[in-house]
């Protein structure tokens, strides 16, 4: 997608990090390499979670907007159902909001 960063752009490459350590100290101790790998992995997982939450929020927003537009159309077409249409769309919006806030 245009304007969106890839995970690889957001998290520094592991090789670059290790190269930086090597240039400063020569040989990099194994425990440092493992620690860097762990942190890199954690960063990838955190980034994936943030991206997933953004996707959930975006889908919830789009669906709520579409349902709200449908609600307005149905109110004009059959005004007696207004309270039911609003209840249905509100129930979806509450459900979607809870999913966005879920951990």
Q: Taking residues 80-91, what's their average pLDDT?
A: 98
pTM: 0.66
- Residue 3 domain-assigned (yes or no): no
Encode 4-36 in three state secondary structure: CCCHHHHCCCHHHHHHHHHHHHCCCCHHHHHHH
Q: Mind listing the pLDDT tens digit for each residue in 67-77?
A: 999 999 999 99
Distance CA 13, CA 1 (A): 21
Domain span holding position 74: 8-101
Asked whether residue 35 is assigned to any structural domain, the reply reads yes
In a domain, 45, yes or no: yes
Number of domains in the chain: 1
pLDDT at 102: 87
């Amino acid at each position: 997608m245009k304007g969106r960063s890839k995970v690889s752009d957001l998290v520094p490459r592991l090789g670059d990090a290790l190269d930086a350590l090597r240039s400063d100290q020569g040989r990099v101790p194994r425990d440092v390499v493992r620690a860097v790998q762990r942190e890199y992995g954690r960063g990838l997982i955190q980034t994936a979670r943030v991206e997933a939450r953004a996707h959930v929020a975006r889908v919830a927003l789009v669906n709520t907007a579409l349902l709200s537009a449908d609600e307005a159309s149905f109110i004009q077409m059959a005004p007696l159902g207004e309270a039911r249409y609003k209840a249905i769309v509100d129930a979806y919006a509450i459900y979607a909001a809870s999913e966005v806030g879920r951990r």
